[in-house]
Structure 1
Amino acid sequence: MDTNSVSPLPPPEAPLAMMEVEKTPPGSPSANDMPPPPDENFWDKIMRYEEETENTWNCGSWFEYLLIVILSTILLIGVLVLTLFWVIYYRGGFAWTENPTLQFNLHPVLMIAGFITFSGFSILLYRLCRCLKHIYVKLAHMFFHACAIPCIVVGFLAVFDSHNLQEPPLPNFYSLHSWLGFVTMGLFALQFIVGFFSFLVLLCCENATYGCRAAMVPIHASFGLVNFMLAIATCVTGLTEKVISAQFPEAEKIVMNSLGMVLVAIGIVVSVAVRRSNAPATAKVYVTERL
């Protein structure tokens, strides 16, 4: 047999060498093979970048903010001025019990001043004024609502006396306008009482009442906007009732219709101002989330 055709057997020490190689543990990776350790401030940088991105105010945001502030101010003051013009120029001005017809004129002016102008500014200040400390914003919010209270009370007494002093007396609380007004006044009083005690009086023990105040914020804010929309609906139904119940010149009807459209525009602008989403760093939190 040819010796070249047979493979030579491995030496007896070869399997042992192979086994030794298999048992040898793998070497630890070098420093070049391992990934670099994470930066200790990595997540802080990420969070800071996200906050800066969210809080950046571009030209569009500034334009929207200024547009809402200017437009809402013009509308809230303009609706009161237009009401005064209508009552003084077309309705003969004001009086008290000596002239029930003129006494009634106090009702639309004072109700719009209290429920629309003062309450509207109160809502917008709480939503848009972030340059002051939160406690000062709360006080301004309460101040404007407190200014609305005497307007609403005197306005209600004016229409009540005006109906009772007429010859013959006119019925009270017979129309949808009067029912809506009654509900709006009741909800306004409840909102003021709850807000005063929950968000001002309970601040004397702030840490103990934090949970309660946090739970009340979305309820108070939601019902506050509902109350404002009810006030607008009450004013519009009152204007409609006034137009139907009497004959007016065409020019006066145009003024009254314009007054109704301004009220609708106020409802739209205030709703957008309260629920708008692109806000700056100091105003990015919704009113329903603030304490």
Structure 2
Amino acid sequence: MESNSVSPMPDMAPMAEFDKTPPTPPEDTLPMDDLPPPPTTVTVQEEKEKEAHRHYEEENEWGCGSWLEYALVMILACILLLASLALTLYWVIKHRGGFAWRDDPIKQFNFHPVLMVAGFITFSGFSILLYRICRCCRRIYVKLLHTVFHALAIPCVAVGFLTVLDSHNLAQPPIPNFYSLHSWIGLVTMGLFAIQFVVGFFSFLILLCCEGATAGFRASLVPIHASFGLTTFMLAIAACLTGLTEKVFFSLSDDYVKSPLEAGEEGIVVNTIAMVLVALGILVSFAVRSPTLRGDAKVCVTERL
């Protein structure tokens, strides 16, 4: 009987040693720095805003003629706004004897034309033109300056109104109030000015408190506010013209009726003030209504930057 024996194991190949060298990277692998950035997802709203920006910028690309028109109108309007006040001061100081208070009602009246021109014409005119002058400023800053200039006009108008009442009541004999066309136009102008300021200040506060919720309301209010603002400015010019005419008729009487030259330098100065006011009415209305000088589109672009 054969003895049990364990057959020898077959010869096995020796185990290969573990290769500790790191694998060679593929030749086509690029460093991360050289890879392009991942594509960004652009929403439909962002695409519309970009398209709107491009549209605004294309529409507002000005040529040499547009810039010349803008510079000419703005510079001339600013010069005339300051000239109207300077000429009124010159007329009152040189030909009307200067200023006084209640001890001299005639000279107290001289505050009336100066302050009314300062408030209704100079300050209000600059406040209207700010939307054309400050084309590159953010709209919130332009609105703030617009409010400041209107606020500066309020004490001028208030004191000018009180001085004419005092001078009439203290005169010997007293002069009736609110009997002339000039006074009626002036009252309407002051009423519209007060309404404009209250509405504008109210909408400005809403802008600061809840801009997004009231965007539609404020957008519908803008053309109404702008139209009544220009109307108020034109009524102020009409009140100044009728007031100047009334004053020279009472003060220069027959000499002015014959010819302003026979009335001397004062008649020429008064007529010059009147023509400056007429020119301001033309220039300011043109600056506000001209499509070329409007800065709405550019302001809209600047607001988003």
- Shorter-chain TM-score: which interval? 0.7 to 0.9
Q: Distance in 1 between matches of 2:71 and 2:277?
A: 20
Alignment of 1:95-134 (within 5 A): 95-134=100-139
Q: Distance in 2 between matches of 1:110 and 1:145?
A: 14
Match of 2:269 in 1: 255
Q: Distance in 1 between matches of 2:146 and 2:229?
A: 12
Q: Does 1:195 align with 2:200?
A: yes
Q: Distance in 1 between matches of 2:274 and 2:170?
A: 28
Aligned partner letter, 1:252: E
Q: Judge conservation of contact 1:128–1:283 (CA < 8 Å) in 2.
A: no
Instruction: Give CA deviations for 1:246-278 in whole Å, capped at 9, x if unaligned.
Output: 226322111101100000000001011111112
Q: Distance in 2 between matches of 1:259 and 1:106?
A: 16
Q: Does 1:278 align with 2:292?
A: yes
The 1:85–1:207 alpha-carbon spacing in structure 2 relative to 1, beyond 3 Å, is same
Q: Identity across aligned pairs (percent)?
A: 64
Q: Judge conservation of contact 1:274–1:286 (CA < 8 Å) in 2.
A: no
Alignment of 1:220-259 (within 5 A): 220-247=225-252, 249-259=263-273
Larger Rg: 2
Q: Judge conservation of contact 1:278–1:284 (CA < 8 Å) in 2.
A: no
Task: Give unmatched runs, 5+ long, in structure 1.
Answer: 1-42
Q: Distance in 2 between matches of 1:146 and 1:235?
A: 20
Q: Judge conservation of contact 1:275–1:286 (CA < 8 Å) in 2.
A: no
Instruction: Give CA deviations for 1:115-155 in whole Å, capped at 9, x if unaligned.
Output: 00000000000233121111100000000000000000000
Give secondary structure in 1 for the equivalent of 2:59.
helix
Alignment of 1:179-218 (within 5 A): 179-218=184-223
The number of residue pairs the alignment matches comes to 245
Larger CA deviation: 136-145 vs 55-64: 55-64
The 1:98–1:201 alpha-carbon spacing in structure 2 relative to 1, beyond 3 Å, is farther
Q: Distance in 1 between matches of 2:226 and 2:49?
A: 34
Structural RMSD (CA):
2.4
Task: Give unmatched runs, 5+ long, in structure 2.
Answer: 1-47, 257-262
Q: Distance in 2 between matches of 1:47 and 1:231?
A: 39
Aligned partner letter, 1:70: I
What TM-score do the two structures reach when normalised by structure 1?
A: 0.79
The 1:105–1:205 alpha-carbon spacing in structure 2 relative to 1, beyond 3 Å, is same
Give secondary structure in 1 for the equivalent of 2:213.
coil
Question: Runs of 4+ in structure 1 displaced over 4 angstroms?
Answer: 43-53, 282-287
What TM-score do the two structures reach when normalised by structure 2?
A: 0.75
Q: Distance in 2 between matches of 1:228 and 1:51?
A: 30
Q: Judge conservation of contact 1:122–1:144 (CA < 8 Å) in 2.
A: yes
The 1:234–1:205 alpha-carbon spacing in structure 2 relative to 1, beyond 3 Å, is same
Q: Judge conservation of contact 2:115–2:157 (CA < 8 Å) in 1.
A: yes
Aligned partner letter, 1:219: I
Match of 1:139 in 2: 144
